[in-house]
Amino acid sequence: MLLHSMGIGYRHDGSFSINRPNGSGDNLLLIFCTPAYVVTAGNRQKLPAGSAILYSKGTPQIYGGTGAEYIDHWVHFDCAENDIFFDKTGAVFDTPFAVPSLSDAERVLELLRLESVSDTRAECVDLLLRLLIAKTAETGGNSPKNHHSDRLRALRAEIYGNPAGHFTVEELARKMSLSPSYFQTLYKSEFGVSCYEDILKAKTELAEYYLKNTALSVSAVAELCGYENDVHFMRQFKKRTGKTPSAARKAGAAG
């Protein structure tokens, strides 16, 4: 699979629409972060946030917003549409589907964006595109647990989409119009981990990537991951990985 272009979290007003009657000339994976509509086989269909569609080459691409704001992720690429990979993952072309975990898909999107400009682009992009499609199209075991699930998943996607953000449990609970204690109970029930630990996990995963794949200093990595100073970063990193940042970098180089 060959990546052409991609975008993460593109924002438009609710009147935004695209009409490509002959498609875009390549394959397109489109993930809707807000309610949207698509037209397939001449039928207009409204979709909730957290939906997606995988376009084959030549299929008309007609879609747009239905609310006050329109946000999406998109990936233009080329693939062999008869690849057995699509059958194995259950991915279907030109038919909208629900994304089981928007946060999982967004984590792969972030990696894909980083790798698309790295020296290992040719080796990694194909694998990450396949992983993205698998994470987007996989089914089973991801049904919402309560009526707050969609908002919790959107909030988690925000955390993993911006690991450098200075999130606090109190601020996130306020976004949900919930008390901090009830918010934390719901969050752990939904994801099996506390919100605080998830915030640190997102930062740690991003830090590991930078340490293993760039020559950035530990101070620069700490800043990029939202830590106020190196000492706090190194303490938290070792607590969660069992390694110092320098040791993690060496292990990545050796691997």
pLDDT tens sequence across 13-52: 989 999 999 999 999 999 999 999 999 988 999 999 999 9
**Surface-to-core class of residue 192, CB atoms within 10 Å of its CB (0-12 exposed, 13-18 middle, 19+ buried):** exposed
Predicted pLDDT of residue 231: 93
- Name the token pair of 38: 């698509």
Name the pLDDT band for 150 (thresholds 50, 70, 90): confident
Could you confirm whether domain 2-137 is CATH 3.40.50.1980? no
CA distance 129 to 108: 8
Q: Where in the chain is the domain with CATH 2.60.120.280?
A: 2-137
Q: What are the backbone angles phi and psi of residue 147, rounded to the nearest 5°?
A: -70, -5
CATH 1.10.10.60 in the chain, residue ranges = 149-254
Q: What is the pLDDT of residue 143?
A: 46
Greater model confidence, 116 or 39: 39
Distance CA 74, CA 30 (A): 5
Greatest pairwise CA separation for the chain in angstroms:
59
Q: Which range (30-34, 136-140, 163-167) has the least confidence? A: 136-140
What SS3 state is found at 202? helix
pLDDT > 80? residue 139: no
Q: Does position 250 have pLDDT exceeding 90, yes or no?
A: no
| 149-254 belongs to CATH 1.10.10.60 | yes
Residues 65-86, mean pLDDT to the nearest whole number = 92
What pLDDT band is residue 122 in, cutting at 50, 70 and 90?
low
Q: What does the buried/exposed string (b/e) look like for 165-181 if buried means 16 or more CB atoms within 10 Å of the residue's CB?
A: eebebeebbeebebebe
